[in-house]
């Protein structure tokens, strides 16, 4: 009897034990309001219309003020290059000023992708360019700019177009299938998890990708 009473007491105790609540995953906060804003900015940056590009650049500036150092580098580099194209089309800058503007943006882009691919042992920039499918002449252009030799404006414009196309293919286009909206309190756990994974991919190193074969 005592054994039966003890077993019944333990079962009753288990039935009254509080249910353990599953912890929700940590949320990833992003700077954009939602997927629609992200798509609108992407289209605006690459549309070729200076007015729409400037509006997209203003949005990116707002993102950067909210996101700070966590801003995806690919977005930052794209904005810098598009800003050069907007200045170019405005006619406000002289040729050498445009060369310097394009040059700074291109040098920063090459430096960023090579810094993130460098290992413990220094790897030649040309080899890294081949690994990430960047034309060798873009690295050579960076070399000329960093050593005080100003290239032709036409070459800078071409370099800007090539790099923007690279960013579009290797970064922006990869985000099209992601859900990039911020999470709301009403979303269920499955939606939160999907969004967290999408934003994690966006926040991850934008230069880590498989080179073309």
DSSP symbols for 17-56: SPPPPPPPPPP---SSS-HHHHHHHHHHHHS--HHHHHHH
Closest alpha carbon to 87 in 100, 103, 98 = 98
Q: Tell me, what's the pLDDT at 163?
A: 96
- Closest by CA to 191, choosing from 13, 4, 24, is 24
> Shortest CA distance to 53 belongs to which of 33, 95, 81?
81
Quick: pLDDT tens for 100-137: 999 999 999 998 887 776 665 677 888 888 888 889 99
Question: 17-71 pLDDT, tens per residue?
Answer: 555 555 555 455 555 667 788 888 999 999 999 999 999 999 999 888 887 778 8
Q: Could you state, in order of their start, the residue ranges of all structural domains in the chain?
A: 35-176
Pairwise CA distance, residues 19 & 17, whole Å:
6
13 token code pair = 């105790």
Three-class SS of residue 193?
Answer: helix
| Euclidean distance between CA atoms 69 and 194, whole angstroms | 24
């Amino acid at each position: 009897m005592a054994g039966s009473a003890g077993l019944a007491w333990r079962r009753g105790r288990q039935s009254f034990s509080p249910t353990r609540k599953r912890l929700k995953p940590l949320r990833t906060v992003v700077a954009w309001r939602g997927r629609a804003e992200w798509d609108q900015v992407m289209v605006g940056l690459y549309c070729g219309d200076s007015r729409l590009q400037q509006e997209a650049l203003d949005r990116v500036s707002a993102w950067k003020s909210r996101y700070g150092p966590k801003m995806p580098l690919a977005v930052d580099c794209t904005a810098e290059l598009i800003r050069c194209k907007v200045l170019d089309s405005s006619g406000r800058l002289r040729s050498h000023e445009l060369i310097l503007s394009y040059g700074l943006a291109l040098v920063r882009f090459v430096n960023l992708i090579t810094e993130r691919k460098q290992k413990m042992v220094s790897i030649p920039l040309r080899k890294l360019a081949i690994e990430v499918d960047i034309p060798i002449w873009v690295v050579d252009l960076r070399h000329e700019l960093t050593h005080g030799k100003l290239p032709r404006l036409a070459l800078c414009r071409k370099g800007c177009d090539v790099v923007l196309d690279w960013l579009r293919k290797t970064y922006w286009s990869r985000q099209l299938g992601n859900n990039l909206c911020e999470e709301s309190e009403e979303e269920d756990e499955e939606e939160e998890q999907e969004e967290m994974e999408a934003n994690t991919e966006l926040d991850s190193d934008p230069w880590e990708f498989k080179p073309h074969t």
